[in-house]
């Protein structure tokens, strides 16, 4: 779906994370471009994009961000990018890598699932710390069921403690899965040296493939991927997977087409078929720079 030609006062207030009264103040002062029709204020989307660029990313012209989705690998998001034909490319190499590349303007969005050390919040502490000066917004994508994906012959594993002495597929350092695995292991009193770590896997699918081939007894993976391979799954935690999106890119056709598709019946059907996904609130704002 193409971006709307005009935004209403409530829509602009939500985008900027300000009160509607402030929107009226900006309009009356001439700070933002606006027009009045049938007694209502309307804000041209293109003009608002230009205004955001000037005020949120400085007055120095910058090279446009490439149409790439960065960050953590999610099988459903990966499918939606292709199926929606939105024109966006992807480079998935972990949440922390995605944050760094997003800050370097190497993409328009980044998938994240980073839990704070206390285990109380997902993603917001990380983006608030590292992306406060970015022209960005964090929106909901999905809640995912994550746990231990087991090999067919890996018996006797029902908790993190049961990984002691077992072969485990690790993820790349500082990825969201790696960070979470270390947190869960620490809470269980399990040291990395208590396990035999195999070669690093760089995606959710690659990690489970290694278990399916018999190269390891377990990995910390997604229910959806375990189900794809017909492997046993021990649920441990429901994690939040969000998208950090550049505000200007949000209004452009590729991101609008992707997000519109993500709220379609086809997307809901695919998520239900894959298993382990809750798409409640997809696209709603969780944090705004």
- CATH number of domain containing 43: 1.10.10
pLDDT at residue 60, as a whole number: 44
Whether residue 46 has pLDDT greater than 60: yes
Place of tokens 């809640």: 143
Asked if the structure places residue 102 within a domain, the reply is: yes
Within this chain, do residues 78 and 24 fall inside the same structural domain, yes or no?
Answer: no
In angstroms, the Cα distances linking 148 to 153, 177, 234, 245, 247 are: 14, 12, 5, 30, 36
Q: What are the pLDDT digits (tens) for 226-263?
A: 999 999 999 999 999 999 999 999 999 999 999 999 99
Paired with 288 in beta bridges are 137
Mean of all residue pLDDT scores within the chain: 91
Choose one of 22, 38, 56: the last residue of a domain.
Answer: 56
pLDDT at residue 6, as a whole number: 78
pLDDT at residue 64, as a whole number: 85
Question: How far apart are the C-alpha atoms of 217 and 75, rounded to whole Å?
Answer: 22
Rounded to two decimals, the pTM is: 0.78
Within this chain, do residues 287 and 202 fall inside the same structural domain, yes or no?
Answer: yes
Whether residue 47 has pLDDT greater than 90: no
Structure tokens at 105: 């303007």
Within this chain, do residues 97 and 236 fall inside the same structural domain, yes or no?
Answer: yes
* pLDDT more than 90, % of the chain: 73
pLDDT at residue 1, as a whole number: 47
Within this chain, do residues 139 and 18 fall inside the same structural domain, yes or no?
Answer: no
Within this chain, do residues 213 and 81 fall inside the same structural domain, yes or no?
Answer: yes
Asked if the structure places residue 282 within a domain, the reply is: yes
Whether residue 31 has pLDDT greater than 70: yes
Angle at 231 between CA 227 and CA 237, to 5 degrees: 70
Within this chain, do residues 36 and 178 fall inside the same structural domain, yes or no?
Answer: no
Asked if the structure places residue 165 within a domain, the reply is: yes
Query: Which pLDDT band holds residue 29 (cuts at 50, 70, 90)?
Result: low
Within this chain, do residues 164 and 46 fall inside the same structural domain, yes or no?
Answer: no
Asked if the structure places residue 1 within a domain, the reply is: no
Within this chain, do residues 210 and 160 fall inside the same structural domain, yes or no?
Answer: yes
Report, as an integer, the average pLDDT of 162-180. Answer: 95
Within this chain, do residues 246 and 118 fall inside the same structural domain, yes or no?
Answer: yes
Within this chain, do residues 21 and 101 fall inside the same structural domain, yes or no?
Answer: no
Place of tokens 């009226």: 24
Within this chain, do residues 201 and 180 fall inside the same structural domain, yes or no?
Answer: yes
- CATH number of domain containing 123: 3.40.190.290
Buried b (16+ CB within 10 A) or exposed e, 108-120: bbbbbbbbeeeee
Report, as an integer, the average pLDDT of 13-37. Answer: 78
Within this chain, do residues 52 and 91 fall inside the same structural domain, yes or no?
Answer: no
Whether residue 125 has pLDDT greater than 60: yes
**Number of domains, the chain:** 2
Asked if the structure places residue 23 within a domain, the reply is: yes
Q: What is the CA radius of gyration of the chain?
A: 21
β-strand pairing of 136-150 with 218-222? antiparallel
Q: What are the pLDDT digits (tens) for 176-219?
A: 999 999 999 999 999 999 999 999 999 999 999 999 999 999 99
Q: What are the pLDDT digits (tens) for 54-89?
A: 666 554 445 789 999 999 999 999 999 999 999 999
pLDDT at residue 30, as a whole number: 66
Asked if the structure places residue 149 within a domain, the reply is: yes
Residue 258's domain comprises: 64-289
């Amino acid at each position: 779906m193409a971006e709307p030609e005009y935004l209403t006062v409530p829509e602009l207030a939500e985008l900027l994370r300000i009160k509607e009264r402030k929107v009226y103040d900006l309009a009356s002062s001439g700070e933002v471009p606006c027009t009045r029709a049938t007694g209502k204020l309307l804000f041209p989307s293109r003009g608002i994009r230009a205004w955001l660029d000037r005020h949120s990313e400085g007055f120095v012209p910058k090279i446009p961000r490439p149409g790439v989705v960065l960050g953590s690998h999610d099988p459903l998001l990966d499918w939606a990018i292709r199926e929606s034909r939105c024109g966006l490319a992807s480079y998935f190499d972990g949440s922390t890598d995605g944050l760094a590349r997003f800050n370097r303007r190497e993409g328009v969005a980044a998938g994240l699932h980073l839990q704070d050390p206390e285990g109380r919040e997902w993603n917001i502490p990380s983006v608030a710390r590292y992306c406060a000066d970015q022209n960005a917004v964090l929106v909901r994508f999905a809640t995912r069921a994550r746990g231990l994906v087991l090999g067919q012959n890996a018996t006797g594993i029902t908790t993190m403690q049961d990984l002691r002495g077992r072969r485990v597929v690790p993820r790349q350092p500082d990825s969201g899965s790696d960070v979470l695995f270390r947190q869960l292991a620490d809470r269980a009193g399990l040291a990395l040296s208590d396990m035999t770590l195999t070669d690093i896997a760089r995606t959710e699918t690659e990690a489970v493939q290694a278990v399916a081939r018999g190269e390891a007894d377990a990995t910390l993976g997604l229910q959806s991927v375990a189900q794809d391979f017909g492997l046993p799954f021990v649920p441990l935690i429901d994690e939040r997977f969000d998208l950090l999106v550049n505000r200007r890119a949000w209004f452009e056709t590729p991101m609008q087409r992707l997000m519109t598709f993500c709220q379609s019946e086809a997307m809901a059907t695919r998520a239900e078929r894959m298993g382990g996904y809750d798409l409640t609130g997809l696209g709603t704002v969780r944090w705004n720079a």
